[in-house]
Structure 1
Amino acid sequence: MGNLMESMLAAFAEFDNEIRLARTTGGMVARLEQGAWPHAAPVGYTRMKTATGIVSIEPSEDAPKIKQLLEEFSTGAYTVQNARDYAYNIGIRNRKNGVRTWQMIKDMLNNPLYAGFVTSDYIGGRLIQGIHEPIISEATYYRNQAILNGSLRNFSCSAEEEWPLRSGFLQHICGKPMTGSSPRGRSGPSPRYSCMFCRAKEIGSPVSKMRGLVHQDFMDLMERVRPTEDAQKLFKHIVLREWNNEARDSHNLARTLDSEINALQDKRMRTLDLYIDNKISEADKDRKIAEVDNDITKIELRRAEITDDIKDKEQVIDNALLFMSNPAAFWNLAPIEVKRRIQDAIFPEGLEYDCETGFRTAKLAESYLLIQKIPANNAEIPCLVAPGRLELPTSGL
């Protein structure tokens, strides 16, 4: 009799635990479906409650560091191991102020919370738009996923960023390309552009110059070839009109990609239905799901890029106008890839440099010369006379 009672009590206790678990799970699912986050806050966030009492998260004082790490990784210039070192250098560390593990950094890169989504095993791993403030854009998140799963190749950072004018663009008066290096002197490294083919004693003038001075000479040169105000006005008109057309195309493409994503999600559900009905093996199910998820990630990356492209069109226009109005400042602030594209666009044949007197006569690109020839009289340019109002599409999709 005693054993029977013990078994009955144990059964009741187990049943009670299952009821509590079901209630807890149901509550978790309901909150997640609302976009709330009932779990612990990740690094860069703190727990909070909304005015209606919903548990969620909000950016903490560490959020800017997390944003910096995730956006830097999205450039493709880092492996996860590199990102771990980068995180430590900018102050993202473990509780003992040490280096975070490789897996910790990878989990951060994979975490959709930072892009404004919530997800959990309780909701089948689906991404739901959260009510919390994102730290990074969707495009950055999906780009990081593509880098991690190998859909996008990454490359290693190099010292090239410090030497934008070398690799054949900057030529000495002898016609040979100048190199860049940092020989050490008594006061430390002395970064200089130099010609390896000439000797100062033989030509009677310096064959090297401090990198900072050469860069300043280059920016001064770009100031001298800056387009006229009339050219800038025409450029603004053209850019606004072109972006207006491209934004419409982007909206249409976004709708098409949404349809493709929905079709792939339906395919994913059909695969699960086949597995549930024992019509395909678990291995086939996993393979098909992985293929579909990979396709969805690629399309979502493109979709997010289009969304960001539309949202950022005004910033892009501002950057284009800054380039026209102040090309030297734009070049100075740009990353290495953009610097070199600017250099090649304006000076396609490179530049000849005298370490004593500076740049020699520069040959500009034909397109840049054409821009500079815009007449001073705006009346001669039909598109500059009382231009019609350009309606830019809103960012909502």
Structure 2
Amino acid sequence: MAIRNPMYCGKIFIEKYKDEDCHLVKGLHEPLITETMYYEVQDILDGKKRKSKLTIMSPSMLPLRGFLNCNRCNRVLCGSASKGRGNYYYYYHCSSKCGYRKKAEEINKAFVDELKLYILNDESKEFFKTAIMDAYIDATKGETKDKTNWIVEITELGNRITKARELLLTGDLDGSDYKTIKTESEHRIAVLEAKLSEAPVVAVSPAEVERLLDKAIVKLTQIDVIYSNHDTYVQREVIGSMYPEKFTFENLQHRTANVDFLFQLIYQINSTLREKKRRASDRKTCLPIVAPEAGLEPATL
């Protein structure tokens, strides 16, 4: 069987010869797979390891299958099609006896309507970018400040030991005091160095975060187009990124589904800007459209 051939992982099988047992040696060719992968495949073929489950893709009419819960018994809804007169009709339904069943077309439309609320519009882009960058800087500046303070303290403790040594050599400090200063300082340095080594590394600079954010914003302003124009795999990626928890059709209807923080922020910014625009519009409509009666000034025709 070809899949058993160790050449795929860069090894060559040497058959038994005289007193030497058969064995594998490293070949000069470029391996196609890693040794780890090769041995995992062999374990699966030998029945020592179960095959990993394959991701089951939903049909194009059932992109929400696996994300929806039953509103009656809270089980995950299944999806299937039933054949009518010449056509197939798709449904999301519960596998329990509760009998919950909804047309897929109806639920899919409710999701798209919900999705439109979280499109990052042009007016909201700068507010969104500022909010994310501020949150990132706030989340990382504490760690950066701590590291800076630890490095400064380590330097000061090192200088303290050096100064104590100079005083010892000039006779201005006795040996026991020098030993005490040196021991305490070195212990504190060891503690601070341990904190530095264990502190999380901020791998992404604010400039890199801003660059990645700009790319993400482009997609967030077109998320409805991306969802509508791509296959089920991409649609399910969008759904999974928006909703950290399963939801029900009724959640979509009443806009109570729990969405990810980023989409909460988009909705909040969009809502705030819409409210400001509405208030400005109301103020304009409240202006008098008829000139006031004559007072000190003559009435205007």
TM interval, shorter chain, is 0.3 to 0.5
**TM-score, length-scaled by structure 2:** 0.39
**TM-score, length-scaled by structure 1:** 0.32
Q: Which has the higher contact order (CA 8 A, sep 6+)?
A: 2
